[in-house]
C-alpha cells in the first residue's frame, strides 16, 4: 500500500507539472534535429482559440512524409491527410486537458470529411492514395486513421513577432503505425509556428483566429522532464482507451 501511495504521489506531481508548466515551450523543436520519420504540415492551417469555451484548435493538412534521413526528398501526401488538434487551454495559456466526442472538419461546407473522436490529435485520410517507401507501396483509403493520439503536455511562446506552440503526445496509433512506418516509442512530439501576429491570444475576450500555421511532427528524444512527464501520464491515459466514431 505504501509503495502504491508513493507511485500515486509521483503521478499527481507530474499531472500538476503538466498543468502549470505550459507557459513556455516544451523544447520539441529544439530537440528536432531532422528526426525521422517526420511529417511536415503545410502553411494553410488555422490556429483558433475561443476564450468562452477555452477551446484551442489547429486545423491543417499534412504536406510531406519523410522516412529516410536527408537528403531524401520525402513523399508528398498533400491534400490527402487532414491534421487536427483540439485541447482546452485557460486564459493564461495553461493546458487544462483534452477533448471528448469532438468533431474535426476540413471542409465545413460539405461535412464530407468530418470525423468525431475522443482523440486530441488526429490525422485523417481524406482521399485514397499510395505511399511508396523503399520501393514498397502502402495503400491508404479515405476514412483511415493515419495517426492519432492524446496530448500529454502543451507549451507555447510569443517571441515578439509570432506564436510558437509545441505538443507531446501519448503513444500514437493508426494505419501508419500498423504498417510499421511510425514507431510507438520514443513519444511523438510536434511544433507549430503561426504567421506574425499581435500578442493577443490569451486573455482576449474575442475569438482568436490565426492562419498559415505550419510545423513538423516526429518521434523525439525528449529532455528528462518530458520523459518523466510521459512516463507518469501514459499509465493514466491508457486506463481509459478511447475509440473513434465516424460522424
* Assigned domain for 72 exists: yes
* Assigned domain for 247 exists: no
pLDDT in tens, 21-79: 345 899 999 888 778 999 999 878 899 999 999 999 999 999 999 998 776 788 999 99
Instruction: Answer whether residue 6 shows pLDDT above 60.
Output: no
C-alpha grid cell for residue 18?
503538466
pTM (predicted TM-score): 0.82
Structurally, the chain folds into a number of domains equal to 1
- Domain containing 195 equals 2-237
pLDDT in tens, 93-125: 999 999 999 999 998 777 778 999 999 999 999
pLDDT for 113: 86
* Assigned domain for 38 exists: yes
CA angle 121, 99, 76 (to 5 degrees): 15
- CA 44 – CA 192 distance, rounded (Å): 12
What does the DSSP 8-state code read for residue 100? S
- CA 89 – CA 103 distance, rounded (Å): 18
* Assigned domain for 124 exists: yes
* Assigned domain for 51 exists: yes
Q: Which residue is it, cell 502549470?
A: 20
Amino acid at each position: 500500500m505504501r509503495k502504491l501511495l508513493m507511485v500515486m504521489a509521483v503521478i499527481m506531481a507530474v499531472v500538476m507539472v503538466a498543468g502549470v508548466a505550459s507557459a513556455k515551450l516544451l523544447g520539441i523543436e529544439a530537440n528536432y534535429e531532422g528526426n525521422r520519420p517526420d511529417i511536415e504540415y503545410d502553411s494553410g492551417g488555422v490556429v483558433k482559440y475561443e476564450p468562452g469555451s477555452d477551446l484551442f484548435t489547429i486545423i491543417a493538412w499534412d504536406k510531406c512524409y519523410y522516412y529516410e534521413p536527408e537528403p531524401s526528398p520525402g513523399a508528398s501526401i498533400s491534400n490527402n491527410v487532414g491534421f487536427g488538434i483540439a485541447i482546452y487551454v485557460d486564459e493564461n495559456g495553461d493546458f487544462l486537458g483534452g477533448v471528448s466526442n469532438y468533431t474535426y472538419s476540413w471542409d465545413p461546407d460539405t461535412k464530407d470529411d468530418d470525423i468525431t473522436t475522443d482523440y486530441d490529435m488526429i490525422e485523417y485520410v481524406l482521399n485514397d492514395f499510395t505511399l511508396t517507401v523503399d520501393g514498397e507501396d502502402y495503400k491508404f483509403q479515405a476514412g483511415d486513421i493515419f495517426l492519432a493520439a492524446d496530448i500529454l503536455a502543451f507549451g507555447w511562446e510569443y517571441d515578439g513577432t509570432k506564436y510558437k506552440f509545441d505538443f507531446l503526445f501519448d503513444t500514437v496509433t493508426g494505419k501508419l503505425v500498423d504498417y510499421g512506418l511510425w514507431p510507438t516509442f520514443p513519444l511523438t512530439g510536434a511544433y507549430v509556428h503561426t504567421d506574425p501576429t499581435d500578442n493577443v491570444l490569451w486573455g482576449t475576450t474575442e475569438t482568436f483566429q490565426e492562419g498559415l500555421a505550419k510545423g513538423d511532427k516526429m518521434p523525439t528524444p525528449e529532455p528528462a522532464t518530458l520523459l518523466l512527464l510521459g512516463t507518469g501520464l501514459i499509465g493514466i491515459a491508457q486506463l481509459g482507451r478511447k475509440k473513434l466514431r465516424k460522424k
